[in-house]
Amino acid sequence: MTTEKIENIYKAVFPLVEKAGQILMEGFNSKKDFSLKSAFYDVVTKYDSEIENFLISEIRKLYPDHDFIAEESTGNSKTILSDKPTWIIDPIDGTSNFIKGMPHCCVSVGLAIGKKIVIGIVNNSVHGAIYSAVVGKGAFKNSEKITTSSVQKVSDACIGYEVSLLHVPSIAEKHLKRIQQISSRARMTLSYGSVVMSMCYVACGMLDAYTIEDMFPWDCAAASLIVSEAGGFIKHTNGGEYDIMNPHIVCAGSETLGKDILDLIKNADNNLCSVIKAQKLYLHYAIHSKTKNCLVVGKKQTRKMSITSDLEFEQYFKLIQNLILKCGSIMNEGFSSKQTKFKTKSAFYDIVSEYDKKIEDIIINGISEEYPTHKFIGEEEQAESNIEALLTNEPTWIIDPIDGTTNFMKKIPQACISVGLAVNKQLVLGIVYNPMLNELFTAKKGHGAFLNGEQIHASRICDIKDCVLGYEISLIHDKRVRDKNVKRIYKLASNCTGTRCIGSAALSLCYVAMGRFDAYHIEDLKPWDIAAGAIILEEAGGLVTNSYGGELNIMKPNLIGSSTLELNQQL
């Protein structure tokens, strides 16, 4: 088929994919019922079928002799790709995200001719982004040409990997070894729960690489062309050519990075042995036992706040909210700039941008002018002084000027300004602001939690099998805590319906507070990473404890944030 004919087909089908995105948005903004397919983690909604039926019927009207391979209509049967024009459709990739209100979900439509993908269209209507490609014509996001990143080294790379694959016993050991090999060397490892969106993020440079196995043709078909046309490297995980019908993929912005990831996968597969024995998984940690000294949930002692009046407390809130909104404009400026300067701090994965210090200074100076006796624990201030922070009974502002700095640098819109206030060593106020997505999370002790002024509530999920869990697998790159985190991510991810790693502790806690996640577990962080998010989650009706179910120590934030007590106890 000529290029001109392929382009004409693209022009005819593009509006249909736009319409399918509108159907997705209708469902995204409404309450959704779902049912299970093959397993507790494999879910489907009525919108999956509605979108797929719409696309097939409308395309068939235009091209009655074309074939179709689609998730809901052919997913349970063995499909064969012929040389005929064949549409490969995933009506909603990232259905769990779609159900939970996470924006990483999309409609994916690819066309194969002669067993080669020649058209790819991906509609992420939640973010208003359509990624597209026609073979030989480049890749585009909303009509603007996109290219992959030029990152060469794994240590400089943000790499995507679907941690949720650990819940499939037959392939869990393989994926755990690969996660360990890659995450211990990458600057950051992220897990979004959508193969298609992750590959599109590689195409536009938000991710530097992505690898996936054990998927289906509709998971990768359209996006594989988009990555290739954006200048990316794409191969089978064994180093051979990408196979549409057996999509085991490594895709990367550069060939050098892609080949290094292939080597890491090979090393991991050669060392498959005794990390995990095939056995029944239990719903408790095997890493630590709860000791007699653990505090019991519900026994937490509260102290009277040393704030003279509700009016004064409200003044604190208004002041910090205004300062954060002001800093949000500065953060947006940095996010929109083509290049932002940064440097490493304690390790290759610990970076700081020019905007971190600028934002922290504005917040500290603004508060100090009004309340000169207040104390501060700020990420960049502590990094410069190299003195261990102490929390006293005095009003103390705990500040992370940019939580998710790596995301911020990579133009991934999941980064935020996070500020909490502690009085008498108890959190009483928290604000987390993501200016890129215009999401302002706020909470005051005893007054509930809010997103952009509307009250939010944690989900009521009680069973770990129904839980979407947040966990930062990038912690594997720290040798001191690597073994612990490898074991925990396996135990947790293998039992949850989905696991997401977004690279921001503050936002992850807020996502639990509003029901996008059902739980979040993190250890070995700093107080500024969790202070604001913790009180926001508590005020949303969730539970925040230490890793053993006892009272959270703000200064040593090893925590479980969950929607319910029952879920906390299972974790």
Residue numbers belonging to the annotated binding site for Mg(2+):
379, 400, 402-403, 529
- The β-bridge partners of 235 are 250
Phi-psi region of 318 (alpha: psi -120 to 50; beta: other; left: phi over 0): alpha
Radius of gyration of the chain (CA): 24
Beta pairing class for 449-451 and 543-546: unpaired
**Among this protein's residues, is 2 annotated catalytic?**
no
From 52, 72, 208, 219, the catalytic residue: 219
Side chain identity at residue 338, one-letter code: K
User: Is there a catalytic annotation at residue 219?
Assistant: yes
Q: Which of 434, 454, 566, 287 is nearest to 443 (CA)?
A: 454
Active site residue 45: no
Q: How far is CA 84 from the centre of its chain?
A: 37
Instruction: For residue 212, give the nearest of 270, 251, 169, 166 by alpha carbon.
Output: 251
Q: For the chain, how far is it from start to end, CA to CA, in angstroms? A: 55
Three-state SS across 357-394? HHHHHHHHHHHHHHCCCCEEEEHHHHHHHCCCCCCCCC
Q: Are 136 and 3 in contact (CB under 8 A)?
A: yes
Quote the Cα angle for 550-553-558, to 5°.
Answer: 75
Q: What angle do CA 42, 45, 50 make, to 5 degrees?
A: 130
Q: Which of 71, 356, 380, 518 is catalytic?
A: 71
CA distance 186 to 138: 28
Under 8 Å between Cβ of 226 and 148: no
From the list 45, 95, 396, 564, the catalytic residue is 95
- Contact call for residues 347 and 324 (beta carbons, < 8 A): no
Tokens matching residue 111: 């066309």
Q: Is 566 a catalytic residue?
A: no
Active site residue 93: yes
Out of 72, 93, 360, 381, the active site residue is 93
Nearest to 207 by CA among 132, 149, 129: 149
Tell me, yes or no, if 90 is annotated catalytic: yes
Cβ–Cβ under 8 Å, residues 473 and 366: no
61 CB contacts (<8 Å, ≥6 apart)?
none
Three-class SS state of 141: strand
Binding-site members are 379, 400, 402-403, 529
Name the active-site residue from 52, 72, 90, 538.
Answer: 90
**Which residues are the active-site residues?**
71, 90, 92-93, 95, 219
